[in-house]
Amino acid sequence: MPPSDAPRPPKLSAMILGQIRPAITLLVVLTTITGVLYPVGMTLAAKALFPRQSAGSLLIGDDGAVRGSLLIGQPFTGPGWFHGRPSASGTTPYDPTSSGGSNFGPTSAAFTTLVAERAEALRRDESTGSATIPVDLVTASASGLDPHISPRAALLQVRRVAAARGLADEQVQRLVAARIEPAFLGILGRPRVNVLVLNLALESLDSGGAMPKLSEEGLRPPP
């Protein structure tokens, strides 16, 4: 509805036709700015300023092979490795091409049954006895790629890992303790352990060296 005292409002069709050119021109112009210049410029800037982070925070081994990403979890199932959280991604666990969670409702019987099975398996594998199982080890993450577990969940696995690798419990325990990432500034987020980083450290410990073979640069969490 045209406001009150507009003198002889132009015809509707004329109004529409008059706006077609600016609509299309500005869509093209703004698409070029925000859809081409902006992402391309950002990619170049990110590459120059933060080459490692913008390329996926990749962990490179001594032989130059990419072992994974600091930020993306990997599945571990063998007794000689620390295990991450259950993953509900795609058809295979920890699949970065189809990230996602289980979307189980909190009261779902299928959910509680699955958690009970996982808890039972953990009790057996870790010989926990009467100790309780940290909830992060029996629940799937939102992304299915969660690289972290809680410090308690890591410490729970020390005995099994040490036994499988023929190491002393204390040695493995120290390895875990050294890799606990604190909350940011003490308040943001939660203390956690990166499972992939921990296992890579374990691997290099196993192959003789006391120092991790990965470059320190690669092992450091993002600033």
Cβ of residue 121: shortest distance to other proteins, in angstroms? 11
Q: How far apart are CA 98 and CA 88, in angstroms?
A: 10
Decide if residue 172 touches other proteins (CB under 8 A).
no
* 38, 160 contact by CB (below 8 A): no
Binding to other proteins (CB under 8 A): which residues in 102-121?
Answer: 102-109, 111-113, 115-116, 119
Long-range contacts of 170-177 (CB under 8 A, 24+ apart): 171/205, 172/202, 175/201, 175/202, 175/205, 176/82, 176/151
65 three-class SS: coil
Q: How far apart are CA 80 and CA 169, in angstroms?
A: 13
Beta bridge partners of 188: 184
Binding to other proteins (CB under 8 A): which residues in 180-199?
Answer: 183-184, 187-192, 196, 199
Decide if residue 49 touches other proteins (CB under 8 A).
yes
Looking at 24-32, 157-165, 167-175, 205-213, which segment touches other proteins (CB under 8 A)?
24-32
Binding to other proteins (CB under 8 A): which residues in 57-76?
Answer: 57-58, 65-76
Looking at 45-53, 161-169, 204-212, which segment touches other proteins (CB under 8 A)?
45-53
Write the binding mask 120 to 159 for other proteins: x where contact by CB under 8 A, - elsewhere. Answer: ---x--------xxxxx-xxxxxxxxxxxxxxxx-x----
CA 135 vs. chain centroid, Å, equals 18
Question: How many residues bind other proteins, per CB under 8 A?
Answer: 121
Q: How far apart are CA 105 and CA 94, in angstroms?
A: 21
By beta-carbon proximity to other proteins, the closer residue of 77 and 209 is: 77
By beta-carbon proximity to other proteins, the closer residue of 144 and 167 is: 144
